[in-house]
Structure 1
Amino acid sequence: MNRWSESAKATYRRWKNTGKRSKSAFVGRADESQETDNEIYTVAAARAGSGGVEASLSGGSNKTEETFTVDDALEAFGFGRFQFKMCLLTGLSLAADAMELMLLSVLGPQLHCEWRLHSYQVALITSVVFIGMGIGSPFWGYISDNYGRRVGLVMSMCWIFYFSLLTAFSPVYSWLLILRGIVGFGLGGIHQSMTLLSEFLPVKWRGTCVLLAGLFWAGGAALEVLLALLTMPTLGWRWLVALSTIPIAIFLCLCFWMPESPRFDVVMTRREKAIATLMSIAKDNKKTLPQGKLVVHEQCSHGRFRDLFTPQYRKTTLLLWLIGFTDVFCYYGIILMTTELFKAEDLCRASLGADTEWCCSLECKYLASADYENLLWTTLAELPGILCISVFTDYMGRKKTLALCFFMFSLCILPLFACIGRTAVTIFVFIARAFITAGFQTVFVYASEVYPTEVRSLAMGTWNAMGRVGGFVTPFIAQVLLRTSLHLTLAVYCGCSLLAAFACLFLPTETAGKRLQETNLN
């Protein structure tokens, strides 16, 4: 019996990148003590049952078996043609998402005048979208964890395309609300594209590529403003809604090429599909697949909500919910507040013998060409923000980068308390939006790295859902409370961003430079 137990601990040789690991690092150490992917193989063997152990030990206890993991393969392939195509395709989905949401900031003022809506009705047009996203995000996360990342993403894009086109034919306000809420349900699944992209990237490129994918988001938002500038004065808002679905149509025409995540296939014990995907990546990147047997992780369940609250992830989940809420709350708050400020006749008004207080005009006013131009400039702020932060994420780490983004956003809000002109407002809003956008993308990087494959999509979905709660609340602050007191509105956004900055520093795990986990047992 002792002899049998000793043979069960026999070492094995697996494929590895000799440039990164030395043999001395493995000498004299048991598998359980090695902080590498060797532990994955041990877990997989235990899950496979005693039959698999007997098979591997039969014919001599000293015989080794050559294995490799998805991580090993991706590191060997590096960043190449395949990853570039994935960045373009997933970036297209982000551009579509940005256009659908940026549409809200120009649609509200237009319908305010055209349909003579009250301010709370204008706010509801935005809020129902975020209600739908809050409900849809966990749903699409569950679909993606159980049926595949590709399945969830393509289904959500088809959903958005159909109901967005229907929105253009809305006869009355109530129909518009219902259809935009249904569109929001589909929008909750678009961010699974970031989960899919991150699972195809090597460690060195993951943070940079996921952040730079945000350039498509910024480009989509800017394109929506340009489209509004061209179509609103002549064709009207219905044509704007219909034309905003063009990126979705392009994505649906190209998505047949997009493969399923090999990490998902490995967790679902679909070794053949994972191997086929890895061979496709190797062919595109002109690399060779590592020799040996691909390690598979057999799991009894996937996408369980309670797994997010195990002792290992409880604190991370709660803090990410707070950070996600604040990020979306501030991001869309600054967008909606910008259009409200630009729409005002006078940015501030002083009463004789009274304190100076900002007061936005309550009169109905269509957005003019100058307003669209200012909105475009502030939207373009997202591009340099993402480019700059992409340098800091690997140098400073994810946590400190997030904290920096929130702190700088609150710092840029402070000058707005003073009575400054439109040009100064545009500059500070430009900088604030650059930092909050960079923070928005950095959260995606962190959330996709900190959770294992078996619950990654669900974790992204629930985090996204909490963010949409912030999106639901922010129109009532940026469009309703703003008309009563600008000082109070700015104080709310400034205070929330500072709270989120401290929350980022208390996140228990720094994920920069670490490999993605496949299961909780890694």
Structure 2
Amino acid sequence: MEKLFLVGKEAQKIRQAHLDDHSNHSHLPNVSFISSNSGRYQDLDEDNRGTLRVDVVNPYPASSLERVEGDLNQAPPTFTVDQAVDQIGFGKFQLKLSCLAGFAWMADAMEMMILSILSPALKCEWDLNGWQQALVTTVVFCGMMMSSAIWGKISDRHGRRVELLLCSFITFYYGLISAGAPNLWWLLFLRCFVGIGIGGSPQSVTLYSEFLPSKQRAKCLVLTEVFWALGSCFEVLLALFVMPTLGWRWLLGLSSLPLLVFDIACLWMPESARFFMASGQTRRAYDVLERIAKENGTTMPPGELVSDAGQRKDTTPRGRFADLVGPDFRRTTFLLWIIWLGNAFSYYGVVLMTTELLGAGDTCHVGSQSNIPAAECSLECRMLTTADYWDLLWTTIAEFPALFLTAVIIDLLGRKRTMALEFVVYSVFVFLLCICTSRVIMTMFLFVARGFISGAFQTAYVYTPEVYPTSMRSIGLGMCSAMARIGAILAPFNSQVVLNYSVYAAISIYGTVALLAAGASMLLPIETKGREMKDTRTVQ
């Protein structure tokens, strides 16, 4: 019979129990744990008096027991949020979250698409000039620009879920009451608050991306843009039936209702586990991950949840603008600002320019204001026709095939090359609009241009949350969104003012800006394809 030294926690428990008994009852003997490897008993106490020898029968080889002793001395296993999300995988929870985030995009797309439909109607009802038409669109983007960074700070400091609840309710409330605006100035004031609310909508991308496994993240984020396209198409169809009968006020009121539905649905949505980790709430982060694993029917990784820096807590303040322009992220931030500004300027430019070009019939009759006869009274003002709405719908549908193409190439070419390629293709087809051609060919050029610029925009939405760590992800995305609103503010003046003086100048501006954004995409220092999302800012 082989006798071995009892090791580990069990030995400690037995020895401590006997020591406790010995302190209370001095007549009890001490316990020695002995080994017979040498062939004889060896007492572990200094003397043999009062010692009880305990022989432990070992049914396992000595080498196995040594391995057990080594395992007991090792630190417990650990895992990060990223590793947990990857192991849990894409399942029922992510499908529900995809629908919820997508519904937010649909609702915001309806509020944005209405701008291109509202402008011609207000021009006729209130006899607006080109500058006043542009202001109806510009005030919304001004509100978005002013609020984007603020929403980012709220998201980084108080949570993504809190931010989404607030911004969606503000958008719904002011969108609804703007339907009752008595004049232009009241409408501008109320629509500015709509823009303030919409400025927080990009944070739904932050929350969504933080729950996605790394392998599916890019494709899922790109495909959420399908919901944006669906919202745009739904708004055009809604306008097709509402505008001729009920008018623009009913269209504004009905378009705000989906945001109320989203706000109620947000009560189901959990807070981001990454946000909890970045704010030092490890227990709550673990509970969120455990909930997702249970809903997906999978298991959590064994061990202790830690940040991607190990046990060290990231104590640096969260959501600081100074971190974006610090030495680690300065180049990335400035290049992303150029990309986002160019993206929004080009995207909203082609959306607004589409209604202007369709209203004229082709590019040959938009060259100067002298080609457009002035209406003698507001009743003679030209409204969008049924044919115009259908052509607008066709150009909106262009976003669907381009998004599926983007979902395929984004993991093949990488984020940087995908953005650059789509900017270049957009630029080529925008320049082709300078050709004086038929309405059908012009619609085809607009179709391709809109599809590829929407793909470039969505690729930027994939890249930005991936490149910034959790502690500054929302402020990073918020500042990029703010820069995008500057581009969106400028777009109406190019599409509705410059276009009336020179169609070639307006088109050339859009094409050139897109080429500059393509160059900025290639100069980005980091390719995030296959890269884990970081929790702390020690990434560069």
TM-score bin (small chain): 0.7 to 0.9
Return the offset for 1:300: 3.5
Q: 1:513 to 1:485 in 2, by over 3 A?
A: same
Return the offset for 1:194: 0.3
Return the offset for 1:339: 0.2
* Match in the other structure for 2:136: 125
What is the distance in 2 between the residues matched to 1:499 and 1:295? 41
* Match in the other structure for 1:202: 213
* Match in the other structure for 2:395: 378
Return the offset for 1:293: 1.0
Aligned to 1:273, which of 280, 284, 301? 284
Tell me which amino acid in the other structure corresponds to 1:447.
T
* Match in the other structure for 1:102: 113
What is the distance in 1 between the residues matched to 2:98 and 2:295? 14
- Secondary structure at the counterpart of residue 340 of structure 1: helix
Map residues 15-414 of structure 1 onto 2, 5 A cutoff: 62-296=73-307, 297-344=313-360, 347-349=363-365, 361=372, 363=374, 364-414=381-431
Tell me which amino acid in the other structure corresponds to 1:111.
L
- Secondary structure at the counterpart of residue 538 of structure 2: coil
Return the offset for 1:341: 0.8
Query: Is the contact between residue 348 and residue 358 of structure 1 (CA under 8 Å) also seen in structure 2?
Result: no
Aligned to 1:506, which of 523, 526, 530? 523
What is the distance in 2 between the residues matched to 1:379 and 1:124? 23
Query: Is the contact between residue 358 and residue 486 of structure 1 (CA under 8 Å) also seen in structure 2?
Result: no
What is the distance in 2 between the residues matched to 1:89 and 1:335? 25
Query: Is the contact between residue 105 and residue 335 of structure 1 (CA under 8 Å) also seen in structure 2?
Result: yes
* Match in the other structure for 1:21: none
Moved more, 413-422 or 459-468: 413-422
Aligned to 1:452, which of 464, 469, 484? 469
Tell me which amino acid in the other structure corresponds to 1:215.
V
- Secondary structure at the counterpart of residue 282 of structure 1: helix
Deviations 1:462-483 (A, max 9, x none): 0000000000011000000100
Return the offset for 1:146: 0.2
Return the offset for 1:488: 0.5
Return the offset for 1:280: 0.8
Return the offset for 1:357: 8.1
Name the Cα RMSD after superposition: 1.7
Query: Is the contact between residue 358 and residue 419 of structure 1 (CA under 8 Å) also seen in structure 2?
Result: no
Query: Is the contact between residue 340 and residue 360 of structure 1 (CA under 8 Å) also seen in structure 2?
Result: no
What is the distance in 2 between the residues matched to 1:199 and 1:334? 31
- Secondary structure at the counterpart of residue 180 of structure 2: coil
What is the distance in 2 between the residues matched to 1:113 and 1:209? 42
What is the distance in 2 between the residues matched to 1:362 and 1:120? 18
TM-score (norm 1): 0.86
Tell me which amino acid in the other structure corresponds to 1:324.
W
Return the offset for 1:60: 12
* Match in the other structure for 2:512: 495
Deviations 1:305-345 (A, max 9, x none): 00001212101100000010000000000000000011125
Tell me the matched-pair count: 459
Deviations 1:12-33 (A, max 9, x none): xxxxxxxxxxxxxxxxxxxxxx
Query: Is the contact between residue 341 and residue 360 of structure 1 (CA under 8 Å) also seen in structure 2?
Result: no
Q: 1:66 to 1:238 in 2, by over 3 A?
A: same
Q: 1:309 to 1:345 in 2, by over 3 A?
A: closer
Q: 1:494 to 1:60 in 2, by over 3 A?
A: closer
Return the offset for 1:246: 2.5
What is the distance in 2 between the residues matched to 1:346 and 1:384? 25
Query: Is the contact between residue 363 and residue 503 of structure 2 (CA under 8 Å) also seen in structure 1?
Result: no
What is the distance in 1 between the residues matched to 2:296 and 2:315? 31
TM-score (norm 2): 0.83
* Match in the other structure for 2:480: 463
Query: Is the contact between residue 361 and residue 439 of structure 2 (CA under 8 Å) also seen in structure 1?
Result: no
What is the distance in 1 between the residues matched to 2:373 and 2:218? 44
What is the distance in 1 between the residues matched to 2:370 and 2:224? 38
* Match in the other structure for 1:415: 432
Q: 1:349 to 1:98 in 2, by over 3 A?
A: closer
Tell me which amino acid in the other structure corresponds to 1:432.
A
Query: Is the contact between residue 71 and residue 202 of structure 1 (CA under 8 Å) also seen in structure 2?
Result: yes
What is the distance in 2 between the residues matched to 1:108 and 1:345? 18
Larger radius of gyration: 2
Query: Is the contact between residue 360 and residue 482 of structure 1 (CA under 8 Å) also seen in structure 2?
Result: no
Deviations 1:141-164 (A, max 9, x none): 000000001111111001101110
Tell me which amino acid in the other structure corresponds to 1:250.
V
What is the distance in 1 between the residues matched to 2:99 and 2:370? 44
What is the distance in 1 between the residues matched to 2:188 and 2:471? 35
Tell me which amino acid in the other structure corresponds to 2:193.
I
Return the offset for 1:414: 1.9
What is the distance in 1 between the residues matched to 2:369 and 2:117? 22
* Match in the other structure for 1:32: none
Return the offset for 1:521: 2.4
Query: Is the contact between residue 347 and residue 358 of structure 1 (CA under 8 Å) also seen in structure 2?
Result: no
Is residue 426 from structure 1 mapped to residue 443 from structure 2 by the alignment? yes
Moved over 3 A (4+): 59-62, 356-360
Unmatched 5+ stretches in structure 1: 1-58, 351-355
Deviations 1:345-372 (A, max 9, x none): 564259xxxxx98976354310000000
- State the identity %: 47
